[in-house]
Amino acid sequence: MLGRRHLRIRVLNALYTWYQTEHADQAKIEQEMFAGTDKMYDLYLSLLLFLTELSHHEKLYLEDVASKFIVRKKTFHRTYSGLKFIKALETDTNFSELIGKRKLSWQKENDLVAKVFFKIRNSEKYIDFTENDKSTLTEADFFNALYREEIVESELLKSYLEEKSIWWEEGLEYAHIMAKRTFTSYTESNKLELLSLFKDAADDKQFMTNLFRDTIRHDAELKELISSRTKNWDVERIASMDILLMKMALTEVLHMQNIPLKVSINEYIDLSKIYSTPKSKIFVNGVLDKVVEDLRNENKIVKTGRGLLG
């Protein structure tokens, strides 16, 4: 499920579009923000479906091997398609229904799946797991190594997914995390439990809505707060992303009473390291510290609950 950081990133992208687009349609951008977030779930399910497609290709490969004379030279003690997790995916009705409802399929990308499987079946891990009867690899060890080395690191798969959708390019790393968590959960409980996109759909969506709308609504106020502490800077030379990140942080500080002060500040400092310039962390941290100090002295920060002002 998506954590608050990813929700902030989704809002960050939407706000960036808003501020960079002349005569932008706020309602449309907000709608696209949620549509893009929902696409994340399609990506997560598509990755799980891709795992079952690999199983299908392995079965074809095993049939091909068995029909040739090299059968005497190849003995398969275990198979990828025989993994309990893969079998669970292939037989789970809830998973099948979700795939059908969202119209997800890899049928038109058969060549891509075949190429990825070809690389897998020639890998040392696959050969050791399937052909070595003395292999010490457990199913979990094998799957984790295969997923990391042949799925996450697959340039073929990555290129396809990034070209498929702009939303998928942004969310691929987190979708991989969700897929891995699904496997980990299965190994611990021996029960397939698909993750939800949100921890609390209503609460998370309201958080995104408030953050998006309030940052725009209070733009003048936020701009003034930042300007008051950057008077010695050439505003034109301050990265627009730095300004946006600070506006979002201050929106949470001033208008979201149930979010701890430190959480908001630290989250946006971390995001500045990823989405802005190499020096942004120091700059954003310095400006926010001074603005928050001013707001504290003026008693303008109101947080409900113990410890939220810390």
205 in any annotated domain: no
Judgement on whether residues 165 and 237 belong to the same structural domain of the protein: no
Residue 71 confidence (pLDDT): 47
23 in any annotated domain: no
Judgement on whether residues 42 and 176 belong to the same structural domain of the protein: yes
Percent of the chain predicted with pLDDT > 90: 74
CA dist 269 and 286 (Å) reads 10
Of 189, 209, 234, the position where a domain reaches its end is: 189
Judgement on whether residues 85 and 150 belong to the same structural domain of the protein: yes
Question: Tokens 């984790």 appear where?
Answer: 144
Closest CA to 247 of 23, 9, 12: 12
Judgement on whether residues 148 and 286 belong to the same structural domain of the protein: no
Judgement on whether residues 158 and 270 belong to the same structural domain of the protein: no
Judgement on whether residues 230 and 271 belong to the same structural domain of the protein: yes
Range list of H helices, 92-132: 93-101, 110-121, 124-131
Q: Residue 268 belongs to a domain with what CATH number?
A: 1.10.940.10
With 60 as the cut, is the pLDDT of residue 223 above it? yes
Q: 284: part of which helix (H) or strand (E)? A: helix 280-297
Judgement on whether residues 173 and 260 belong to the same structural domain of the protein: no
CA dist 37 and 12 (Å) reads 12
137 in any annotated domain: yes
100 in any annotated domain: yes
CA dist 121 and 136 (Å) reads 18
Q: Is 247 helix (H, G, I), strand (E, B) or coil?
A: helix
Judgement on whether residues 166 and 261 belong to the same structural domain of the protein: no
Judgement on whether residues 90 and 224 belong to the same structural domain of the protein: no
120 in any annotated domain: yes
Kindly state the DSSP code that residue 195 receives in the 8-state scheme: P
Residue 233 confidence (pLDDT): 67
Judgement on whether residues 52 and 173 belong to the same structural domain of the protein: yes
Judgement on whether residues 233 and 171 belong to the same structural domain of the protein: no
Q: Which domain holds residue 252?
A: 218-297
Closest CA to 285 of 236, 228, 240, 245: 245
Instruction: Retrieve residue 128's tokens.
Output: 């050791």
Q: Is 198 helix (H, G, I), strand (E, B) or coil?
A: strand
8 in any annotated domain: no
279 in any annotated domain: yes
Judgement on whether residues 40 and 182 belong to the same structural domain of the protein: yes
pLDDT in tens, 59-97: 999 988 777 655 456 788 999 999 999 999 999 999 999
Residue 237 confidence (pLDDT): 64
Of 189, 207, 239, the position where a domain reaches its end is: 189
Prediction pTM value: 0.85
What are the CB-based long-range contacts (under 8 Å, 24+) for 288-294?
Answer: 288/246, 288/249, 288/250, 289/265, 290/229, 291/225, 291/226, 291/228, 291/229, 291/246, 291/250, 292/253, 292/261, 292/265, 294/225, 294/228, 294/229
The Cα-based distances of 177 to 151, 212, 286 in angstroms read 12, 26, 32
The Cα-based distances of 9 to 38, 198, 221 in angstroms read 14, 14, 22
Closest CA to 282 of 294, 292, 269, 291: 269
Of 171, 189, 207, the position where a domain reaches its end is: 189
207 in any annotated domain: no
What are the CB-based long-range contacts (under 8 Å, 24+) for 51-55?
Answer: 51/86, 51/89, 51/151, 51/179, 52/86, 52/89, 52/90, 53/106, 53/113, 54/80, 54/113, 54/116, 54/117, 54/120, 55/80, 55/81, 55/86, 55/90
pLDDT tier at 236, thresholds 50, 70, 90: low
Count of domains observed in the chain? 2
Percent of the chain predicted with pLDDT > 70: 94
